[in-house]
């Protein structure tokens, strides 16, 4: 009997803790609107470029797609203050998912080089998604490893010419 009372009281405490967590959430976290703290220059659209911080996920209502900046898979750009033979390239992993499609990870590069399979733009659901910016630039002392988690990208999304709304990939 004593064991049942202890188990029952632990169950009640667990449920009370869950209820307390639900009450501490702010309305901004539960609603679909961005909070003022996330409404910074780096996560807004400016001049047609949409900015994302690393790990940021957002539903773009205008394009009916969810976009997530997963991270940088390669950053061989020449560090600031160093003379290099090749300017290098940064490859951003952007996950896109349409309203009626499965998620697809696009590897978008800062430069177009088909020989090395680097593409600055790719098509998805009738839109062309292009990588416009990758910041910050690597430094000579820390390189790309020091920037992990601090990257920000700017992408543009444009309607692909000749595509109709009736078909989806």
CATH number at residue 75: 2.60.98
Residue 25 lies in a domain: no
Q: Which domain holds residue 121?
A: 32-159
Q: Is this prediction's pTM over 0.75?
A: no
Q: What percent of the chain has pLDDT over 90?
A: 29
Contact indicator for 88, 74 with CB cutoff of 8 Å = no
d(CA 128, CA 41): 23
Residue 19 lies in a domain: no
**Residue 52: strand, helix, or coil:** strand
Residue 42 lies in a domain: yes
Instruction: Give me the pLDDT at residue 14, please.
Output: 67
Residue 144 lies in a domain: yes
When divided into structural domains, the chain yields a total of 1
Asked if omega into 136 is within 30° of 0 (cis), the reply is: yes
pLDDT tens-digit series, residues 44-68: 566 688 999 999 999 999 888 999 9
Alpha helices in 25-54 (DSSP H): 27-30
Residue 13 lies in a domain: no
Whether residue 165 is predicted with pLDDT greater than 60 in this model: the reply is no
Integer Rg of the chain from CA: 22
Q: Which H/E stretch holds residue 2? A: helix 2-24
Q: For residues 28 and 74, which has the higher predicted lDDT (pLDDT)? A: 74
């Amino acid at each position: 009997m004593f064991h049942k009372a202890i188990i029952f009281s632990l169950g009640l405490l667990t449920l009370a803790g869950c209820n307390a967590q639900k009450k501490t959430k702010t309305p901004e976290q539960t609603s679909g609107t961005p909070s003022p703290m996330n409404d910074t220059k780096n996560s807004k659209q400016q001049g047609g470029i949409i900015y994302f911080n690393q790990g940021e996920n957002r539903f773009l209502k205008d394009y009916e797609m969810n976009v997530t900046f997963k991270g940088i898979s390669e950053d061989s750009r020449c560090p600031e203050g160093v003379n290099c033979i090749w300017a290098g390239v940064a490859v951003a992993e952007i996950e896109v998912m349409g309203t009626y499609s499965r998620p697809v990870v696009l590897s978008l590069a800062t430069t177009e080089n088909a020989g090395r399979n680097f593409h600055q733009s790719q098509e998805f659901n009738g839109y062309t998604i292009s990588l416009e910016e990758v910041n910050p630039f690597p430094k000579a002392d820390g390189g790309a490893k020091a920037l992990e988690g601090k990257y920000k990208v700017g992408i543009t999304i444009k309607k692909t010419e000749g595509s109709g709304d009736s078909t989806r990939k």
